[in-house]
A = this chain, B = another copy of it.
Amino acid sequence: MTDLIQMGKRALEAKYLLQKLTEEEKNKALELAADRLIAEQERILQENAKDITAGEKAGMHPGLLDRLRLTSQRIHSMAEGLRQIAALPDPVGEVLESFERPNGLKIQKRRVPLGVIGIIYESRPNVTADAFGLCFKTGNAVILKGGSDAICSNLEITRVLRDALLEAGVTPDGIQIIGDTDRAVTQAFMKLNAYVDVLIPRGGAGLIRTVVENSTIPVIETGTGNCHIYVDESADLDMATEIILNAKTQRIGVCNACESLVIHEKVKDAFLPVLAKALREKNVEMRGDEQVCSVLSDCIPATEEDYGREYLDYIVSMKTVGSVEEAIAHINRYNTKHSDAIITENPAHAETFLNEVDAACVYVNASTRFTDGFEFGFGAEIGISTQKLHARGPMGLKELTSYKYTVEGKGQVRK
């Protein structure tokens, strides 16, 4: 069985070495890692083929097999991802605040790495390189625990990345991976708070719940998204249709896709038939309350449970309300604090919605699909946080850092 204590100790040593690296040293290592991934793609593909064969034997769903499969092109994308991270500015060392106290103490708040980051993730092997790149650029050591389906691929990618670090003159323990697929090891990993500063789960609702319930390490919850779009009485209805269609159907399996619609009852007769026509063309199943069903004969009656569902499918729930306040109350009750939007031409309603909806990202007249580190201009993304501690919404490089206070005196003592 994996010796997690030894891994923890190595990560701890690595973190003190990584925090001393200059931006240039880190970028050079990232470029080298990108080169190595391409140079060694044959070996990576061979290992990936073992995972694919095992997946096929186990009767894995074709969609999941596709996520698992690497190609030369996908390995080039992984390498390109590392180069893009190298090109981003290094946030570490930034002086966030600087002030002097009346007693002459000079205090600075300086941005520092988090230290050791643990990441538990599911199938896609490209996350291995991606997560390493983001953690390494911000001076963090990372311990990865990937899904058992991708174990051969993940181990090989990690081997390549460790060799690249060694070649760059950096400790290879900047990245370590747990090669053991035993659940007991994952459980023990979640209790490794003597060595790991932060644990980030990336995956479905089940994985995230398991981590939140079992980890003694501080967790950044990257969440599920039951994203709402509320169509206000004053909405531009053409815009509403276009935004809903985009948010619901442009990509269905993602956390920022729309799952739930809230419709002001005054626009239901004018709006629902037009919307339904567009949704039917995309084969979206509609589940609505009584008022919605009274307008749309093919609408399935929604249950209480529907309002809280993240379908990740061609299904949408629909609820009518009598006011923006009622819409906000409904959304705050059922949302997952991810992304919710109002479509309105009424600035007062827009501002009320922005202020009172409790979500990481709140939109006026735009698709919820924009909740994304790249779309926000962060240049990278480790996930979307749906908790309120530390980071909320898309997390880029800055969200992988902490800070420390430095205090410089001339012999001051406390009276």
Q: Chain A interface (Cβ within 8 Å of chain B)?
A: 16, 19-20, 99, 101, 105, 107, 114-115, 193, 197-198, 212-213, 216, 218-221, 236, 239, 242-243, 245-247, 250, 332, 350, 354-356, 358-367, 369-371, 375-377, 387-390, 392-394, 402-414
Contacts and interface: CB of A to CB of B under 8 A. Distances in A.
Given A197-B388, A212-B193, A392-B404, A365 B410 contact: yes
Nearest to A385: B402
The 4 lowest CB-CB distance pairs between A and B, nearest first, are A366-B409, A246-B413, A388-B402, A369-B414
Contacts of A388: 114-115, 197-198, 218, 402
24 contacts: A115-B358, A193-B212, A213-B216, A218-B388, A236-B411, A242-B411, A247-B413, A250-B414, A358-B404, A360-B405, A361-B407, A362-B404, A362-B405, A364-B407, A365-B408, A366-B407, A366-B410, A367-B412, A369-B413, A370-B412, A371-B405, A389-B402, A392-B404, A394-B405
Nearest to A359: B404
Given A197-B388, A388-B197, A402-B388, A407 B369 contact: no
Given A362-B407, A364-B407, 15 more contacts: A16-B332, A19-B355, A19-B356, A213-B216, A218-B218, A246-B413, A360-B405, A361-B404, A361-B406, A365-B411, A365-B412, A366-B411, A367-B412, A388-B402, A390-B390
> Which of A361, A377, A406 counts the most chain B CB atoms within 10 A?
A406
A390 B392 contact: no
B404 A367 contact: no
Contacts of A408: 350, 354, 363-366
A411 B243 contact: yes
Query: Within the oligomer, what is the number of copies of this chain?
Result: 2
Interface of A is mostly: mixed
A98 to B, nearest CB: 12
Contacts of A212: 193, 216
A297 to B, nearest CB: 28
Given A16-B332, A115-B358, A212-B193, A375 B406 contact: no
A411 B361 contact: no
Contacts of A350: 408
Contacts of A245: 413
B239 A411 contact: yes
A20 to B, nearest CB: 7
A394 B404 CA distance: 11
A392 B96 CA distance: 13
Nearest to A215: B216
